Chain A
């Protein structure tokens, strides 16, 4: 099933785009699996995802840990720890 990915802040800059639509293969179960799959495909993902401790994620607009299953989510966002306020 198609998954829309959104990137924010320096993650967006490192990848060079603000999002993409992907069709991950069956073996991609968690957010972390998806990051591995994107890195293997090339592009700026390897640099953006090099330090996983600096990444946060949201599935369908709810914060989740990187080991969360993608499930039936339609939208995944990858971004640095938030710095508002």
Chain B
């Protein structure tokens, strides 16, 4: 059972986890990404490519299923304006055992960062705005799954 959503509104990680816990596996792992308020960051604006976004997310979920014996996967990515401290992304995987669930979670977030069409723009307390540059560390994290 997969749930894949790109949405502007918030989500409830507890409710998402409860849905995966009911699938009958012995393990549910998750990752929640939060907007960091580093360096006076006030707000992020997430732009995305609506015609492509959910399809790219579903492709990533399908790849996770191909690599691990998963019972269910949930991936939620928000877009639009997000203040520091708000939830931005959520991935969760249910499996019979912990290793598959934990590894699949790490894979899902690494690939989301490098293969889903989202772009972050930062706005700071002093009024500066800038597009976030892609990080080599993220490419490296994603490459470990190649």
Contacts and interface: CB of A to CB of B under 8 A. Distances in A.
Interface of A: 6, 8-10, 58, 61, 63, 75, 77, 79-85
Nearest to A85: B113
B97 interface: no
B131 A9 contact: yes
Given A9-B47, A10-B131, A84 B113 contact: yes
Interface size class of B (residues with CB under 8 A): 20 to 34
Nearest to A12: B47
B138 interface: yes
A82 B51 contact: no
Contact of B133 (A6, A79, A83): A83
Given A8-B47, A10-B131, A82 B52 contact: no
22 contacts: A8-B47, A8-B117, A8-B119, A10-B131, A58-B117, A63-B115, A79-B119, A80-B134, A81-B133, A82-B114, A82-B116, A82-B118, A82-B119, A83-B113, A83-B120, A83-B132, A84-B77, A84-B112, A84-B116, A84-B119, A85-B116, A85-B138
A83 B132 CA distance: 7
B48 interface: yes
Contacts of A84: 46, 48, 77, 89, 112-113, 116-120
A65 to B, nearest CB: 14
Nearest to B48: A84
Contacts, number: 69
Given A79-B119, A83-B118, A85-B109, 20 more contacts: A6-B49, A8-B117, A9-B131, A58-B49, A58-B117, A61-B49, A63-B115, A80-B134, A81-B133, A82-B113, A82-B134, A83-B113, A83-B132, A83-B135, A84-B48, A84-B113, A84-B116, A84-B117, A84-B120, A85-B116
A9 B121 contact: yes
A84 B35 CA distance: 11
A10 B77 CA distance: 21
Contacts of B77: 84-85
Interface string B17-61: 000000000000000010000000000001111011001100000
